[in-house]
Amino acid sequence: TVLTGVLPNALVNLRKSLPLLHVKVSCGSSSTLVERVKQGAIDVAVISKPPIDYPDLKWTAFEKEPLVVIAPMNSPDQSAESLLRNNPFIRFNRSAWVGGMIVEYLKDQDIKVNDIMELSTLEAVRTMVFHGLGVSVIPYRTAQYPHTLPVKTLSFSTKAPERILGIIEKEGNSKSHLTQVLLDELSTSGGKPQIL
């Protein structure tokens, strides 16, 4: 989801400041990208914070996104928790790191949901919610773009966990100075969240 969030703006700015830099973008799940960094197939990955520490890898955070409830724009004015309990639930992939975080939070808050589908991208989840098929829990995107489908966004009544986005690279990466430039761009490419 970083590919449609903060990364494009950061890459545009990076290209302006370092026009001779060659950047090759690959996509994959956070766990897959970590493996590619470990193997040396890629220099750096922009991912959700890993649930475990990896020896020989350096993690640097640049953004936090709280978990929020999204619902169709015409949904009733109810609390986030009521919307989850009273509507079909569109689940984000529970095998993804943030999907596991969502599972744990709903369990901890004793919020039972009526699963109707489980999808592997946040864009697909948001699209299904936009079309009125149910509600969901996703990390709030701090960078909103004109093409984003409008959905109602609600905070939980208790503090929700946050998805932390960051960069992971090998310790002692010979290109760490370039990683820092990318990190600086990513840190300034996000926006301020607006949550109901």
Residue 37: inside a domain, yes or no? yes
Which pLDDT value is given to residue 192?
45
Is the predicted pLDDT of residue 165 greater than 70, yes or no? yes
Which pLDDT value is given to residue 146?
52
Distance CA 159, CA 151 (A): 21
Domain range for 184 is 2-63+164-189
Distance CA 46, CA 166 (A): 6
Write down the H helix ranges in 40-137. Answer: 80-86, 97-108, 122-130
Distance CA 165, CA 78 (A): 30
Statement to judge: residues 43 and 31 lie in one domain: yes
Statement to judge: residues 97 and 146 lie in one domain: yes
- C-beta of residue 62 within 8 angstroms of C-beta of residue 181: no
- Beta-sheet pairing, 44-48 with 152-154: unpaired
Is the predicted pLDDT of residue 66 greater than 60, yes or no? yes
* Between 83 and 194, the higher pLDDT residue: 83
pTM above 0.75, yes or no: yes
Which pLDDT value is given to residue 2?
66
Statement to judge: residues 147 and 80 lie in one domain: yes
Which pLDDT value is given to residue 22?
85
* CATH number of the domain within which 11 lies: 3.40.190.10
Is the predicted pLDDT of residue 97 greater than 60, yes or no? yes
Statement to judge: residues 146 and 81 lie in one domain: yes
Which segment of 55-69, 85-99, 134-148 scores lowest on mean pLDDT? 134-148
Is the predicted pLDDT of residue 175 greater than 80, yes or no? yes
- Overall average pLDDT of the 76-90 stretch: 96
Statement to judge: residues 139 and 94 lie in one domain: yes
High-pLDDT (> 90) share of the chain, %: 56
As given in the structure block, the two tokens for residue 78 are: 């109810």
Q: How many domains does the chain have?
A: 2
Is the predicted pLDDT of residue 123 greater than 70, yes or no? yes
Residue 195: inside a domain, yes or no? no
Which pLDDT value is given to residue 3?
61
Q: Contacts for 74-82 with beta carbons within 8 Å, 24 or more apart?
A: 74/132, 75/135, 75/152, 79/154, 79/157, 80/154, 80/155, 80/156, 80/157, 81/109, 81/111, 81/156, 81/157
Which pLDDT value is given to residue 14?
87
Chain position carrying tokens 């509507």: 87
pLDDT level of residue 8 (50, 70, 90 thresholds): confident
Residue 48: inside a domain, yes or no? yes
Statement to judge: residues 50 and 97 lie in one domain: no
Residue 196: inside a domain, yes or no? no
Give 9-33 pLDDT, tens digit per residue: 888 888 898 888 888 888 888 889 9
CA angle 164, 66, 156 (to 5 degrees): 155
Which pLDDT value is given to residue 91?
97
